Structure 1
């Protein structure tokens, strides 16, 4: 296999970023009544929950205890575990004849459970790469470089689908081509601009567009479609 499609999990495979953001905002409002939380939290989604909480507290000149961070993290995980699939992602993946992997800022058990319960496991069997397997989470490139190494595919031949600035930054830093999914954002136009600003080459709002984008990328690299070595 000469080419790979690597997908983020939260926000690309399942519509969990909105749920996570709303949960964080709700919990912080309970701790800090009367403070506008959402505008601070929203741009941070895509980072690990702990980092979102720490950065929000720092921005608002507040503090959070370790116990409060852990409690909010538990609430986020409980809410996100039931997130539905992103509309159209299953059909899109089924029609893209490339080796597929998932590279996530979440932990192994959560990602494994997510792809299993949604029926997406068949696309990623044995190819799940998560933050607990590397030294540094996104926006560092570690998890994407790990995926390329394990897949034995050069980063230049990996096409990534990301929805967050943190994830896109990680994949671009790894030397991969990134497609930015903005369809799950509250303001897709604004999110597309943010993704483009960190090196995302193309943004899109509907998963039905993904197969065509993957086809165009494959041909730009000089491969036929479908690739002869497709899985």
Structure 2
């Protein structure tokens, strides 16, 4: 495969721009434990984070042999999205995005309206504009590559010209399946030690970092590597 110059930076939203995954996980565990007294929810649910909430709930239900109605799923999702959307930005996010001159997009497994609201609330729309690609506009959510391929098409760049920032196994798997370079971010409150970094590397993250203030230097390093290969 021919090397191409890096042209775009694509960021996940939850767990990358805002520290929301721990909030969402806490809500999901709380709501399921209320419905299933005595069930060991957390050990089953936590490894599923990064997927659509419906899939997290469905996978947890199946693993524990429990049932959720469509109304339960809708109600839990609404609470999780509302509380997670209020999570704080990671320190240094805005300055990092400001320092990177690449075209930027946001690609999320959430819903477009939710992500637009998060970006607007945190004054990040100035970096992403209308370049928002979410699971509700594609056939298959992450870990399928559809969201990332849609982002590349929308930006009119080759997938190989994109650097992605992801925090989950699901997201890294999706971006790598799309043929993109992936930087794994492990600075979120939901990340539990070195094991998560190892999992991200195992599914294809090419670098791991835990502080958003490191992002500009990492992106510059990968641009330099690509330029060296294409020279």
TM-score tier, shorter chain, comes to over 0.9
User: Does the CA-based 8 Å contact 2:6-2:226 persist in structure 1?
Assistant: no
CA shift, 1:186, in A, is: 3.3
Q: Does 1:21 align with 2:25?
A: yes
Q: Does 1:200 align with 2:205?
A: yes
Deviations 1:100-159 (A, max 9, x none): 110111111111111001011110012111111111111100010011011111111100
Aligned twin of 1:135: 139
Q: List runs of 5+ in structure 2 lacking aligned partners.
A: none
CA shift, 1:98, in A, is: 0.8
CA shift, 1:194, in A, is: 1.1
User: What TM-score do the two structures reach when normalised by structure 1?
Assistant: 0.93
User: Does the CA-based 8 Å contact 2:183-2:208 persist in structure 1?
Assistant: yes
TM-align CA RMSD:
1.2
State how far apart, in whole Å, the 1-side matches of 2:45 and 2:141 are. 18
Q: Does 1:187 align with 2:192?
A: yes
What is the DSSP-based 3-state SS (H/G/I as helix, E as strand, rest coil) of the residue aligned with 2:37? coil
CA shift, 1:78, in A, is: 1.5
Q: Does 1:99 align with 2:103?
A: yes
State how far apart, in whole Å, the 1-side matches of 2:58 and 2:169 are. 17
Aligned twin of 2:60: 56
CA shift, 1:64, in A, is: 1.1
Structure 1 outlier segments of 4+, above 3 Å: none
State how far apart, in whole Å, the 1-side matches of 2:41 and 2:214 are. 34
What is the DSSP-based 3-state SS (H/G/I as helix, E as strand, rest coil) of the residue aligned with 1:180? strand
State how far apart, in whole Å, the 2-side matches of 1:214 and 1:8 are. 15
User: Does the CA-based 8 Å contact 1:2-1:153 persist in structure 2?
Assistant: no
CA shift, 1:46, in A, is: 0.6
State how far apart, in whole Å, the 2-side matches of 1:33 and 1:134 are. 36
Aligned twin of 1:229: none
Aligned twin of 1:165: 169
> Which residues in structure 2 correspond to 1:117-156 (within 5 Å)?
117-156=121-160
Counterpart pick for 1:73 among 67, 70, 77: 77
Aligned twin of 2:113: 109
User: Does the CA-based 8 Å contact 2:166-2:185 persist in structure 1?
Assistant: yes
Aligned twin of 1:228: none
User: Does the CA-based 8 Å contact 1:188-1:205 persist in structure 2?
Assistant: no
User: Does the CA-based 8 Å contact 1:180-1:204 persist in structure 2?
Assistant: yes
User: What TM-score do the two structures reach when normalised by structure 2?
Assistant: 0.93
What is the DSSP-based 3-state SS (H/G/I as helix, E as strand, rest coil) of the residue aligned with 2:164? strand
CA shift, 1:2, in A, is: 5.5
